[in-house]
Amino acid sequence: MKHIYNQGSDKLSPVLLLLHGTGGTERDLLPLAEVVSPTSSVLSVRGNILENGMPRFFKRLSEGVFDEEDLIFRTKELEVFLDNAANEYHFDRHNVIAIGYSNGANIAASMLFHSQHTLKAAILHHPMVPLRNKELPDLSGKKIFIGAGTNDPICSPQETNELERMLASAGASVSINLESFGHQLTSSEVEAAKVWFHNNF
C-alpha cells in the first residue's frame, strides 16, 4: 500500500496509523499527528480503492452504504500491511494507535470490530458503524476517541451513539467529543483529540 513512514524521536510513544477520508492521500493527516503526538513515529497510508478517481479504503454501494464484503477484505489487507510494516520499520506492532477521518475512521473501526489485537487505541473522526449484526471481540482496556458533529449529514448523532454502544458493550472505554458542526474536521476537534491522547498515553 502506498504510504509514508516517519520515524519519531521517542520509540516508546505509540506509533500513529493515519487513515485519510475519501479523496484524501497519505499526506492529509500528517499535520494532525504533529498536533496529537509530535514525538511519535507515523505510518500514513493511502487507500487502495479508487472511486471516481478518489482514493478510499474500501468500496461502497452508495453514500453511507458500505460494500461489506469488500470492507472485510480490505480490513484484513490493512492488518497484513501493518504486520509487514512493523517488521520493515522495526516498530512495536502492539503499540499502534489509529487516527482516522471519515472513510479512514470507518476502516479503523472495522479493525476494532474484527480483532482485539490490531490496534492499541483509536481516534475516530466522524466514523459510522462499519458492520452491524457482528459479534465484537473483547475490547476491554481499549481506549477510543470519537469526534462527531451534531449537524453531520453523513454521520448522524444516532449513528455515533450506536457505534459508542457497540464498542462499550465489547468493553472499550469510549470518549465522545460532540460539536455543533457538520462532517468537516475542525481545529477544536483535533485539539480535543490531543487532550484525550495526552490524558491517556
- Helix (H) / strand (E) element for 84: namely helix 68-89
Strands 15-19 and 96-101: parallel
Q: In angstroms, rounded to a whole number, what is the distance separating the alpha carbons of residues 92 and 83?
A: 10
Say if residues 48 and 77 touch (Cβ distance below 8 Å).
Answer: yes
Radius of gyration of the chain (CA): 15
- DSSP bridge pairs for 27: none
Catalytic annotation, residues: 102, 152, 183
Find where cell 503499540 sits: 95
Cβ neighbours around 82 below 10 Å, total: 22
Hey, CA dihedral for 195, 92, 81, 133, is it positive or negative?
Answer: negative
